[in-house]
Amino acid sequence: MSLINCKNLTVAYEGKTVLSNLNFEIEKGWRVFVIGENGSGKTTLMQTMLGLKKPLEGKIIYGDGLKHNDIGYLPQQREIKKDFPASVYEVVLSGRLNKCGLFYTKKDKQAALESMAKLDILDLKNNSFKDLSGGQQQRVLLARALCATNKILMLDEPLTGLDSKTSAYLSSLLLDLNTKHEITLIIISHNFESTMNLSTHILHLNDNQVFFGTTKDYKKTTYYKLMGGK
């Protein structure tokens, strides 16, 4: 059974339809990259799949016991406040807020430590988040998103604003999460090279669903060449 199944889905931003009649399924273990021009509705679609927005039409079916709070989410960097006075551990642990009650449990705290270990930032545990470099902050925020899930991560432009070395390192961490820890990835990306190198599947949007399928098949389309593929 698929993790996420979108059927005849129409989504809107501020009451205006941005994407219509979407139909696709996402299976466990896939690395799905969502591409398209600015304003094509990529972020709105992701927020709808997260349950943050209601679809105008159609439905989203979650499989394998998946619920909204089982999905880890890393929003665009510009939406994140990066100067708040909290430790790395506190930031990562806050990824469990949707799962815990009034207090963090031993299980929540263990999940935070395990997430930091997977992202190789345990040595930063007690550091102040606001004092970290941009690349370190992004790894912490990725660990926070991972703390909420052992199934699926949704990432909105996770490599934007990073230098090439940091971007390559973060890409390798994402690949490791997918291949070694079986975390399904859904990633919005404008980095065409990274998209083609990392993805197993492509969802191309432009007011509607232009293409959905394997990266191998996408490379055979005219859309691939129009986006800069060779």
104 and 9 in a single domain? The answer is no
168 and 61 in a single domain? The answer is yes
Average confidence (pLDDT) per 10 residues, the chain, 230 residues: 92 92 96 92 94 93 86 80 83 86 87 94 95 91 93 93 89 94 94 89 93 96 86
| C-alpha span between 67 and 3 (Å, rounded) | 10
The reply to whether the predicted model has a pTM over 0.85 is: yes
157 and 218 in a single domain? The answer is yes
Q: Can you give the pLDDT at residue 230?
A: 74
In a domain? residue 50: yes
Domain carrying residue 142: 81-150
156 and 145 in a single domain? The answer is no
Q: Can you give the pLDDT at residue 111?
A: 94
15: CATH: 3.40.50.300
Answer for the pair 187, 128: CB distance below 8 angstroms, yes or no.
Answer: no
In a domain? residue 13: yes
Q: Can you give the pLDDT at residue 74?
A: 93
Q: Can you give the pLDDT at residue 190?
A: 86
Domain boundary among 150, 179, 196: 150
185 and 217 in a single domain? The answer is yes
173-186 residues labelled b (16+ CB within 10 A) or e (exposed): bbeebbeeeebbbb
In a domain? residue 226: yes
- Show Cβ contacts of residue 166 under 8 Å, excluding neighbours closer than 6 positions: 134, 135, 138
Q: Can you give the pLDDT at residue 202?
A: 97
